[in-house]
Amino acid sequence: MRPRFTISRKIGSSFAVLLLTTLVVFFLTYDTLREGRSINDKITTVFNPSVSALEQLKSAILRSRTSINHWAYVQSREDTQEKMSLVELINFEIPALKATVDTFSLKWTDQERRKKEKIYSELDELLEMYAEVQRTLHDMQSYDDPYARFLMTEYAEEGGTIFTKSNEVINALSELIAEQRLNTTQDSITMINSFDTLEGYLRNMSLALFLFGLLIAVFTIRSIVKPVSRLKEILLGLGKGIFPRSAVLDTGDEIGEMSMALEQLVKGLKRTTEFSREVGRGNFDIDYEPLSIDDELGKALLFMRDGLKEGERQKLENERILLENERVLLENERVLEDKVEERTKEVTKQKNKIEKQNEQRKELLENITASIRYAKRLQESILPANEKINKLLPENFIFYKPKDIVSGDFYFVKEHKGKVVFAAVDCTGHGVPGAFMSLVGHNALNRALAENTDLDPAEIINGLSKYAANALNRTTELNSGRDGMDMALCVYDASAATIDYSGSNSPLYLIRSGEVLITKADKIAIGSPDHADFNFTKNRVNLEDGDMIYIFSDGYVDQFGGSEGRKFMYAPFREMLLAVSTMPVKDQWQVISDTLDKWRRGAGVVHEQVDDILIIGVRHQKVA
């Protein structure tokens, strides 16, 4: 039996080839465009911005080298434009540029990031050299020391240590810039090559589709249109009662099958017509064979013949079957209703059980929450009353925002020997664990303050660290956990216009005449098991009328938010404090709160508060 190549196979094969070719073109185009878009995004969002940020950092280093050379050679006051520019570069512009480079370096390769970190390390060494020049030649009188001046000019001259180190940093930056530019060039070439390849594919496939379309058109006319036209002529003749004079050729497809079926139809119609004529004459015993098992007309004629004899009997049988069906239906409905009722009772029982369990869970949650709220009242009892704080520090605000019901941050304000001791304390963790640590820290701070008669903040923190270590059982290696505290502790003497400060990982900011003066903290946690014999540093700051003093925990700067979902960071935090420092303290509190809310909302997404937040602001006023 020879294989039959049907019309559906002919058409399906043709369109399958066309569809497959179209899909290939589509996927090639889509993949090339996707790859091109990805490369373009990488160039515009990573490589080009990285080059720009690195160039700016390089320029800032070149300018700083010129400024430090001027500082070393030219005897001038501290507030000259050249020296102020160098301070601005070191303290603000270079750190800000490093932060920008860090943002883009997240999408660099590991090797590029290692180069960046090496550059940062050398840059830190260079900035430390700058700091040595600034410390040595810190005022006009220091230039009168010939040895110091000779040493620093030789240090900063061309070919000197600073010049050599800055060249190393600049050369390393230039290499990194060249790598980023090379990345841009290589990705651009890759994108252009992919588009050239796509152009060739599209040109060749378009020509192939055109030629294949012509072949399909010719094939369709020869194998489908002509046979269908011939079949149409035969059907029109049958409609007029004219049978075909010649047999239709079998073309081996559906059209040939239709022709053969047409001949069978004519023969069957003749037999059916003869049978109908005999039945019409009353000859009910005539034999008739339906054209097929699906011959509805033949079956209807046979049924009509038999129905004349068996009509009444069939009617009664049908009525009996109908009644039986109705009985079965009613029985099924009763059984179904019983099952539904039984299932309803079971579901109700399960529902009551679940509701009881939910009530128990709710009661347990309420008990736990009530216990935590009671713990909050206990914790709030250690905090000084607002009336007492306002009496001791007339111009102050305290921005205190726990992450949970209870907090790991707490503030401390107390008068002692005519001075005001105030502190911002950040204990490890937040919530219930942090609250326990805050109670330990508050008790230890009171004890350390009572035992220090000189009100030396460094000695107070030293004592606090020892008491905290003992309270946390840090006396053995088995109890060397990482729990501890960070703190900024101030002893404020308003009449003497001084403030003594010591800090553990928490600096002191003083804003005076539009400038942020930073007193750095010791980089060690209170109660640290690694440095049990460490002595904290005491810093004394002389105050001027209107100075604004800020101490704080790290919760505000570590809060995620903004349009990119990143941390707030210290540089924007200092800018915010500088902007509000001249406002009344109540307005400062409101601006700080509004800024935090806006930052957390970011680009329409509310970011969860990640830590407890505490900021204390105090304005110094001259005592009359």
Amino acid at 532: A
Q: Express each pLDDT in 148-179 by its tens digit.
A: 777 788 777 777 888 888 888 899 889 989 98
DSSP 291: S
- Strand residue runs (E) in 349-435: 396-401, 409-416, 419-427
Is pLDDT larger for residue 218 or for residue 441?
441
The rounded distance, in Å, linking the Cα atoms of 616 and 158 is 47
The rounded distance, in Å, linking the Cα atoms of 146 and 123 is 29
The rounded distance, in Å, linking the Cα atoms of 318 and 312 is 10
The rounded distance, in Å, linking the Cα atoms of 149 and 142 is 8
Q: What confidence score (pLDDT) does residue 243 get?
A: 66
Whether the per-residue pLDDT at 434 is higher than 70: the answer is: no
Beta-bridge partners for 153: none
Averaged confidence pLDDT in the chain:
82
Q: What confidence score (pLDDT) does residue 611 get?
A: 92
Smallest Cα–Cα separation from 286: which of 273, 267, 297, 295?
A: 273
DSSP character string of 159-215 = TSHHHHHHHHHHHHHHHHHHHHHHHHHHHHHHHHHHHHHHHHHHHHHHHHHHHHHHH
DSSP 91: I
Q: Express each pLDDT in 541-589 by its tens digit.
A: 999 999 999 999 999 999 999 988 899 999 999 999 999 999 999 999 9
Whether the per-residue pLDDT at 374 is higher than 50: the answer is: yes
Is pLDDT larger for residue 475 or for residue 448?
448
Assess contact for 51 and 187: CB atoms under 8 A: no
The rounded distance, in Å, linking the Cα atoms of 156 and 530 is 39
pTM, two decimal places: 0.45
Is pLDDT larger for residue 304 or for residue 371?
304
Whether the per-residue pLDDT at 312 is higher than 60: the answer is: no
What percent of the chain has pLDDT above 90?
29
Q: Express each pLDDT in 100-142 by its tens digit.
A: 988 988 889 899 889 889 998 998 988 898 888 888 888 888 8
Q: Express each pLDDT in 339-355 by its tens digit.
A: 767 877 787 788 777 77
Six token digits for residue 31: 């993949």
Q: What confidence score (pLDDT) does residue 478 get?
A: 43
Q: Express each pLDDT in 207-240 by its tens digit.
A: 887 887 788 777 766 667 667 776 777 777 767 6
CA torsion 226-227-229-235 (nearest 10°) is: 170
Number of alpha carbons in the 13 Å side-chain half-sphere of residue 401: 20
Q: Express each pLDDT in 588-609 by its tens digit.
A: 999 999 999 999 998 778 899 9
Q: Express each pLDDT in 29-79 by its tens digit.
A: 777 778 778 787 778 888 889 889 889 988 988 888 888 888 888 888 888
Region 437-459: what's the mean pLDDT?
89
Binned at pLDDT 50, 70 and 90, residue 501 comes out as very high
Q: What confidence score (pLDDT) does residue 414 get?
A: 94
